[in-house]
């Protein structure tokens, strides 16, 4: 019997004050998909970084085809046939697709880059994913979903024997996800070993043959998934404690924000909506239906071509997010790393930065004592788990970063919160925690707008739901009136039988 393609034995990794991995052992077989499940901070990212050559392990061994290997850097990991697609994109926007796919290993002819061969390689990798994209297209012109698929194509261009996918469907709609799933099936048939990391348990159960559950850096179980359910995976991941959120009725108050006849380019047309105090308003739709653009328009990131936006009884015209903040409206986009956190600053500085004016001392200084006290209070109120408020925010899990961003705008006393895909890349425990915090803010009179393509999320947390299609609001419903199947039919534009 041949050895596993990849065998990890007794892997441990420590950082100052944290045991990230503790004696973890996993095996990957050729032609199989191995799921990796765990809450944020469970050790998944550390394991991925060790396998991709980003970190060295403190203890343990890694074998490929039964032979011990050392993965001292990313080039060495690639040389051993390990390709990783990270949750955060690494494409260079100023280069074309073909150039990104060949970066660092450009084909050459007579000492010059062979652009024809580069395009052919790129086209072959794109074809494996069923993507009809021109290899010369600049990455800056691609949608977020297209960028994610090109990132996967980049990994496939290396002809890996071991492919690591970290939350690959997080930015994808249903059509793009189906392209990926079909490609995974083809790669399985070709004998590629795949490590599939996801918080979406339905995907894990549908795609993976085996799964490993990590908790607090330790392996809890490795098991074939036949007979497993989402509930059983959740219990294994979080232990005995319940991390479920149950929405309770909440009376809506006065109008906090209204839009009338809002239009933007060809993406939004005739948008009318009302968001009320004490209410969580959900906006959903298929990828590209216009919901994300609508969120960015409300938050001042894009400017409407026509129509009116009214906040607290006053007509507003936001030319920037700063204008929106001045009016009491804040925006948290789906790009948490790029447009949310300030990675090189501490948790304290990230929470406090939007309300610095409230703590100004003499000569433009900031009163550090009140800042520390208020940031600590907000971090505790929003359940941010960190050693201290001086911890660099980049070292926190995605869920804790997201909670810190909500805390930032809560401390700044915003009245309308616009959150686009608020739990993308967040585990089930942190997700329920975020829902509870949003519920508490709504009960305190805030107006919350949640824009999400996750129908389960929208049904779980929202009081009213607007469905968008082709840049318009096509339907309005409530969780009580529409279950997941009925809401999906509304999103798809299919009349219920």
- 102-107-109 Cα angle (round to 5): 155
Q: The tokens of 393 are what? A: 């925010």
Count of alpha carbons within 13 angstroms of residue 279, beta-carbon side: 18
| Distance separating alpha carbons of residues 154 and 424, to the nearest angstrom | 23
- Do 308 and 259 contact (CB within 8 A), yes or no? yes
- pLDDT, block means (10 residues), the chain with 497 residues: 89 80 94 89 88 92 93 90 86 90 82 85 87 90 85 87 90 82 90 91 92 91 92 76 69 93 93 97 87 96 95 92 96 90 94 89 78 94 91 89 96 97 80 92 97 88 94 94 85 66
Could you identify the residue written with the tokens 């149950």? 246
Count of alpha carbons within 13 angstroms of residue 353, beta-carbon side: 14
- Do 313 and 357 contact (CB within 8 A), yes or no? no
pLDDT at 149: 87
- Do 179 and 130 contact (CB within 8 A), yes or no? yes
| Residues of the chain above pLDDT 90, percent | 55
Q: The tokens of 231 are what? A: 């509930």
Starting at the earlier edge strand, list the strands of the sheet with 314-316: 268-276, 255-264, 306-311, 314-316
Question: Other CB atoms closer than 10 Å to residue 306's CB: what's the count?
Answer: 11
> What would the 3-class secondary structure string for 200-240 be?
CHHHHHHHCCEEEEEECCEEEEEEECCCCCHHHHHHHHHCC
Which 3 state secondary structure label does DSSP give 320? coil
Identify the H or E element spanning 419.
Answer: strand 416-420
Q: The tokens of 98 are what? A: 């073909």
pLDDT digits (tens, 9 = 90+) for 115-142: 888 899 899 988 888 888 899 999 998 8
Which 3 state secondary structure label does DSSP give 12? strand
Could you identify the residue written with the tokens 């015209």? 317
Domains of the chain (ranges; CATH) run 6-238 (3.40.50.300), 255-492 (3.40.50.300)
Report the number of secondary-structure helices (H) and strands (E) in the chain: 17, 22
Q: The tokens of 404 are what? A: 């810190």
Look up residue 328 and give its DSSP letter. Answer: T
| Distance separating alpha carbons of residues 444 and 442, to the nearest angstrom | 5
pTM of structure: 0.65
Could you identify the residue written with the tokens 């608020």? 422
Q: What is the DSSP string of 32-70?
A: -EEEEE--TTSSHHHHHHHHTTSS--SEEEEEETTEEE-
Question: Other CB atoms closer than 10 Å to residue 61's CB: what's the count?
Answer: 14
pLDDT at 240: 52
User: Distance between alpha carbon 480 and the CA centroid of its chain, in Å?
Assistant: 28
State the virtual CA torsion across 490, 491, 493, 495 in degrees, nearest 10: -20
pLDDT at 325: 96
pLDDT at 242: 44
Question: Other CB atoms closer than 10 Å to residue 339's CB: what's the count?
Answer: 14
Cα R_g (the chain), whole angstroms: 24
Going 466 to 469 to 475 to 480, the CA torsion angle's sign is negative
Spatial CA neighbour of 482 closest among 452, 458, 451: 458
Cα–Cα separations (whole angstroms), residue 15 to 19, 56, 57, 404, 440: 6, 11, 11, 22, 34
pLDDT at 241: 47
Q: What is the DSSP string of 355-411?
A: GGGGGB-GGG-B-HHHHHHHHHHHHHHTT---S-TTSBGGGS-HHHHHHHHHHHHHH
Residues whose CB falls within 8 Å of the CB of residue 137, separated by 6 or more in sequence, listed in order: 96, 97
User: Distance between alpha carbon 281 and the CA centroid of its chain, in Å?
Assistant: 21
| 121 Rama class: left (phi>0) / alpha (psi -120 to 50) / beta | alpha
């Amino acid at each position: 019997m041949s050895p596993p393609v990849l065998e990890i034995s007794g892997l441990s990794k420590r950082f100052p004050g944290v045991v990230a991995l503790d004696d973890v052992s996993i095996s990957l077989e050729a032609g199989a998909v191995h799921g990796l499940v765990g809450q944020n901070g469970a050790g998944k990212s550390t394991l991925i970084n060790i396998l991709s050559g980003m970190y060295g392990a403190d203890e343990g061994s890694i074998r490929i085809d039964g032979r011990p290997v050392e993965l001292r850097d990313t080039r060495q990991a690639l040389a051993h046939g390990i390709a990783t697609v990270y949750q955060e994109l690494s494409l260079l926007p100023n280069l074309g697709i073909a150039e990104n796919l060949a970066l660092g290993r450009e084909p050459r002819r007579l000492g010059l880059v062979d652009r024809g061969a580069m395009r052919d390689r790129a086209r072959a990798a794109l074809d494996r994913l069923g993507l009809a994209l021109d290899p010369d297209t600049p990455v800056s012109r691609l949608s977020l979903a297209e960028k994610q698929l090109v990132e996967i194509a980049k990994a496939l261009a290396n002809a890996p024997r071991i492919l690591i996918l970290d939350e690959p469907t997080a930015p994808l709609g249903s059509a793009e996800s189906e392209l990926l799933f079909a490609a995974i099936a083809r790669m399985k048939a070709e004998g590629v070993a795949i490590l599939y990391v996801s918080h979406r348990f339905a995907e894990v159960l549908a795609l993976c043959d085996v799964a490993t559950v990590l908790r607090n850096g330790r392996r809890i179980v490795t098991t074939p998934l036949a007979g497993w359910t989402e509930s059983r995976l959740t219990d294994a991941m979080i232990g005995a404690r319940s991390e479920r959120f149950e929405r309770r009725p909440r009376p809506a108050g006065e109008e906090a924000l209204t839009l009338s006849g809002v239009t933007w380019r060809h993406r939004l047309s005739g948008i009318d909506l009302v968001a009320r105090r004490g209410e969580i308003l959900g906006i959903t739709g298929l990828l590209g239906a216009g919901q994300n653009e609508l969120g960015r328009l409300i938050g001042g990131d894009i400017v409407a071509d026509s129509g009116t936006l009214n906040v607290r009884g006053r007509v507003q015209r936001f030319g920037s997010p700063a204008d929106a903040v001045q009016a009491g409206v804040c925006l948290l986009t789906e790009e948490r790393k790029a447009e949310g956190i300030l990675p090189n600053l501490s948790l304290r500085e990230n929470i406090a930065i939007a309300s610095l004016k409230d703590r100004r001392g003499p000569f433009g200084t900031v009163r550090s004592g009140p800042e520390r006290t208020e940031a600590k209070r907000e971090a505790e109120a929003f359940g941010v788990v960190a050693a201290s408020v001086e911890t660099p925010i980049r070292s926190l899990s995605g869920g804790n970063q997201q909670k810190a961003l909500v805390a930032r705008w809560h401390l700044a006393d915003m009245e309308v919160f616009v959150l686009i895909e608020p739990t993308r890349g967040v585990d089930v425990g942190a997700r329920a925690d975020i829902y509870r915090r949003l519920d508490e803010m709504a009960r305190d009179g805030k107006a919350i707008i949640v824009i999400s393509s996750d129908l389960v999320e929208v049904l779980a947390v929202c009081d009213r739901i607007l469905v968008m299609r082709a840049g318009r609001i096509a339907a309005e419903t409530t969780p009580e009136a529409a279950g997941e199947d009925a809401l999906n039919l509304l999103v798809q534009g299919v009349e219920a039988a």
